[in-house]
Amino acid sequence: MASYSYRLPRKYRKYARKGRLTDKQALGAVVVIVAVAAASSGHKAVAGAVHHTGASLTSIVVPGNSDLNNPDGWAHALLAALDDPQTSCNFNAVTEWEAREGGGFGNQAAYNPLNTNPGPGAGWPGYSAIGAWAFPDAATGLRYTVMVLNNGDYGAILAALRAGNNAQAVCDAIENSPWAASHYDYTLTANC
């Protein structure tokens, strides 16, 4: 008796499995799964960890002589690290944002005035505090905040800061971003 293997009819062959996934295909599938999980979780930093497209940590320069131990100094350092104009509009918007977030100065969210959070397994230095992340030092907190702002989710905030001429436009961009799930009840305000 002759042996032969069954062959699918031609019209069904395009659906037949051709073999195992390549490493590249498997990596692509993992990236898609992680991205979908991040998008559905609602956590801003998870998305940042998945599709970071902005500045790398090593390229973020903390301005010399920055006083990162108070809201005013941290706001000036953030604007300088983002290479945004040091206008009263930007300064007032950032300090109001810091006040509404309430982190960074004398509380559990050490060195994290804007209360940015990593996604699970992001490998950030520091530790999880109640509702925010605590960094080991102010320069690290600033660098990670800049990295998150540059991850692709906060383009409107960056554009408003880059313009530097409308504090309320910065506040509106923050409210309409995924930064805070509450969107600050759309009551974040600042003037120039």
Summarize pLDDT for 116-136 with one digit per residue, the tens. Answer: 988 777 889 998 887 789 999
Mean pLDDT for all residues in the chain: 78
> Within a domain: residue 1?
no
> Within a domain: residue 160?
yes
> Within a domain: residue 69?
yes
Spell out the residues 6+ positions from residue 165 whose beta carbon is closer than 8 angstroms to its own: 87, 89, 192
51 against 11, higher pLDDT:
11
> Within a domain: residue 116?
yes
> Within a domain: residue 99?
yes
183 against 130, higher pLDDT:
183
The stretch 23-51 carries a mean pLDDT of: 41
Range of the domain at 94: 57-186
pLDDT bin (cut points 50, 70, 90) of residue 38 is: very low
Summarize pLDDT for 62-98 with one digit per residue, the tens. Answer: 777 778 889 999 999 999 999 999 999 999 999 999 9
Q: Which two tokens stand for residue 9?
A: 């009819």
Q: Is the pLDDT of residue 61 over 80?
A: no
CA angle 119, 52, 21 (to 5 degrees): 85
> Within a domain: residue 176?
yes
39 against 19, higher pLDDT:
19
pLDDT bin (cut points 50, 70, 90) of residue 103 is: confident
Number of domains observed in the structure of the chain: 1
> Within a domain: residue 139?
yes
Burial level of 155, CB count in 10 A (0-12/13-18/19+)? Answer: middle
> Within a domain: residue 144?
yes
Q: Which residues pair with 129 in a beta bridge?
A: 132
